[in-house]
Amino acid sequence: MNRLHGPKERWTVLSLGLAGLAAFLAFAQARSGWAAPPANGGSSGIKVGDRLPDVLVIGAGGKPVRLTQTGAQVKLISIVPQLNTPVCDEQTHRFSEQRGSLDPKVQVITLSTNSADDQAAFAKKARIGNITFLSDAPGYEFGRTTGLLLSPYKILHRAVLVVDRDNVIRHLQLVPMGELPNFDAAYEAAGKLLPRP
């Protein structure tokens, strides 16, 4: 009988299980119109006009990063349930491919509950180097604070935030799990926050 001898092998199986779960949620929604609610039962704990939570997330190399202190003038935060699933991959690729149309002062962030190592492996394989990857695992501080954590599954509800230089949320779209966000609306919201020449 095969055994999982080390943490790397066990984490690989866990990641595959979460990827399968995200794919199943997307499939179920596509078939039935069902949308998985945030953890607090149907509405997130954040809204336009709120301040972005001052939480610690994990950046490249496992380094803790305060989400409010990335140094960006405008942040466009793409929240995906789990990388390496079709809809999450497409959402991430689209934001990367269209990054060139945005002002350099806009920082594009992908936030998920994949580990920082898994995010780095994904970015390398996908050849994505123009967006910032941040992980909400293992503490899920962002998801718990905002109500976007789907607690039984340890994944985040799909969403897009646009945040100004004062860390105030100016655009929020909660996206059904099996659908893509409105990219143009996010870009328009980010553009409006930049100073005019």
User: Where are the chain's structural domains?
Assistant: 7-192
CATH class assigned to 7-192? alpha beta
pLDDT confidence of residue 100: 87
Please state whether beta strands 149-150 and 155-156 pair in parallel, antiparallel, or not at all (unpaired). Answer: antiparallel
Is the model's pLDDT at 2 over the cut of 80? no
User: CB neighbours of 130 closer than 8 A, spacing ≥ 6?
Assistant: 96, 99, 100, 108
pLDDT confidence of residue 130: 96
- The proportion of the chain whose per-residue pLDDT surpasses 70, expressed as a percent, equals 77
Q: What are phi and psi of 52, to 5 degrees?
A: -65, 130
Instruction: Please indicate whether residue 91 is annotated as part of the active site.
Output: no
Q: What are phi and psi of 134, to 5 degrees?
A: -130, 140
Q: What is the mean pLDDT of residues 24-40?
A: 42
Decide: helix, strand or coil at residue 119. helix
Please state whether beta strands 149-150 and 132-135 pair in parallel, antiparallel, or not at all (unpaired). Answer: unpaired
In whole angstroms, give the CA distance from residue 114 to residue 109: 14
Q: Are 81 and 156 in contact (CB under 8 A)?
A: yes
- Which of 22, 52, 58, 88 is catalytic? The answer is 88
In whole angstroms, give the CA distance from residue 77 to residue 133: 10
Q: Are 180 and 70 in contact (CB under 8 A)?
A: no
CA dihedral sign, ordered 99, 172, 168, 142? negative
pLDDT confidence of residue 20: 54
User: CB neighbours of 159 closer than 8 A, spacing ≥ 6?
Assistant: 44, 79, 148, 172, 173, 174, 175, 181
Is the model's pLDDT at 8 over the cut of 50? no
Per residue in 113-130, pLDDT (tens digit) is 999 999 999 999 999 999
Q: What is the mean pLDDT of residues 157-180?
A: 97
